[in-house]
Amino acid sequence: MATLRLTSGYATALSEVASENGTLEATVSDLEKLEKIFAEESIAEFFDNPTVPRDEKGQLIDEIAKSSELQPHIINFLNVVVDNGRAGLMTQIVREFENAYNTLTGTEVATVTSVVQLESQDLSQIAQQVQNLTGAKNVRIKTRIDPELIAGFTIQYGRDGSSLIDMSVRKQIEEIASEFEMPAVTLDA
């Protein structure tokens, strides 16, 4: 509960700044970059380590900002999060911000998982279908690659990814296999 309050507070403050600046879209993009960077556990551990001097942390923030071309308010935000020892919460802060952004803009996020990267026209068609299903004003597509699907794709959408459309070959194979499964038979001796 306390963590949710913390992450929500950071996300709310950031969304207010981005709204005032008119940079909501760019802020979402920058936060997606940070989310990928902080997905590497060693990054958050480095920033949250009290034995690492602040100037070393600042150097890494500068490198991240330069290589990722982050906006100034995102760099300030990152400095505040690191200075407060909250780098380990970055993924949750990004999720909370995305929730706030989605509410503000009427956006539905759909995660499309496939074996290979899908073409942009395929993703556009998927976005249109998700928009038709949900009635959302906007649909933002996130993509993931998963070779275990064998072929096809899945679409996960809805609050917390609660809805799933599974068009993968793996699912079809699992369904066929389950049809052939028979209950265990015991023989009386």
Judge residue 42's burial from the number of C-beta atoms within 10 Å of its C-beta, 0-12 exposed, 13-18 middle, 19 or more buried.
exposed
Domain ranges of the chain: 2-102, 107-176
Q: What is the mean pLDDT of residues 167-173?
A: 86
Helix axes 72-83, 24-38, angle to 10 degrees: 40
Confirm whether 2-102 and 107-176 share one CATH topology. Answer: no
What pLDDT sits at residue 139? Answer: 93
CA distances from 141 to 2, 32, 97, 102 (A): 30, 12, 16, 12
Mean pLDDT value across the chain: 88
Handedness of CA 103, 93, 42, 57 (dihedral sign): positive
Euclidean distance between CA atoms 18 and 32, whole angstroms: 15
* Cβ-based neighbour number of residue 129 at 10 Å: 15
Q: CATH for 107-176?
A: 3.40.30
Rounded to an integer, what distance in angstroms lies between the CA atom of residue 95 and that of residue 21? 21
Q: Could you tell me the fold of the domain covering 2-102?
A: Peroxidase; domain 1 (1.10.520)
What confidence tens digit (pLDDT) does each residue in 66-105 have? 999 999 999 999 999 989 988 888 889 998 998 888 888 8
CB 127 within 8 A of CB 141: yes
